[in-house]
Amino acid sequence: MSQLRRDPITGRWIIVNYEKVVEPEEFSFERAVKSNNTKKCPFCPGNEHMTPPEIVAHRNIGAPNTPGWTIRVVPNKYPALEIKGDLNKQGIGVFDRMNGIGAHEVIVDIPHHMRDVADISDEQAEEIIWSYISRNTDLRKDKRFKYILIFRNYGKSAGASLEHPHSQLIALPIVPKRVNEELNSSLEYYNYKDRCVFCDILVQELSDKERIVEENDFFISFCPFVSRFPYEMWIMPKRHESHFTSLQKEEVKPLGTILRNSMKKLKKLLNNPPYNYIIHTSPINGFEKEYYHWHIEIMPKLVNVAGFEWGSGFYVNPIPPEVAARNLMK
């Protein structure tokens, strides 16, 4: 029989299939296959002229906009939002509008075209986290911005338009609806129990142990009890902090390592699946919420979201997260 499970954060229900558990090799999806043609790749070293001038780079040698970098941050060539200008908020009858002001950056965090997070060293993984912190810290100085979203699309079906591995950052003048849902539910839980809902989930996962994929002194990676997608994983800090940039220096390398190891297990089990990962964090510039708990959500693209999901808000997961965690640990 299938099982209904309720998310204590959002109140959303999901359906977990227990009758016929889908084996890893049974998933049918478009794998993130790469070509080795780097001559036309704008993110490969030597092709720096093919992107807008870099905002910042971590480099061992060379001048700006030349090879020798380990991480390179550039403006998105086709940005969703523009950094220059005024918001110019307006009301038009029942509608609201403002100018598309924000920031849209590409973080080319791995120089090698054929590698991804699963394939890099601890040092490169740590550097990726530092680049996320640095750009987040810099952009939050702009008082127009209320939220900074960092995410990674890997594979065509996950929304990646270029093969070369990279992350993206979008700074927004509003707090997104999805984020507000989490914030409002977290506040409701906190007001009722005087505790953080994410901290309670953390305690539960550490107690149950059956959904934990990886653990170190500062973080756990686990398949959440209410997983919306097969092999969904969350990485959560053991120390309560509302904002990603509150990371302490000694936590940065362990975060990079647990992220790399989680992605390595996913790649090994499912043979390089497409995925998205997103850093969920508190808003900024006066909109911070101390009762929130930042975390990273990793979502492989193994199934399609169709009419039932869109119409009901339910997700149907063909593999229990307890089984997913066991498979990832093999």
Catalytic residue numbers, as ranges: 166
What would the two tokens of residue 232 be? 């969904």
Cβ(200)–Cβ(209) below 8 Å: no
Residue from 152, 188, 146 nearest 171 by CA: 146
* Locus of tokens 């100018």: 99
Q: What angle do CA 41, 45, 47 make, to 5 degrees?
A: 50
Residue from 296, 288, 189, 192 nearest 235 by CA: 296
Answer positive or negative: Cα dihedral of 16, 21, 25, 27.
negative
Edge-to-edge strands, sheet with 315-317: 3-6, 13-16, 315-317
Q: 154 in helix, strand or coil?
A: strand
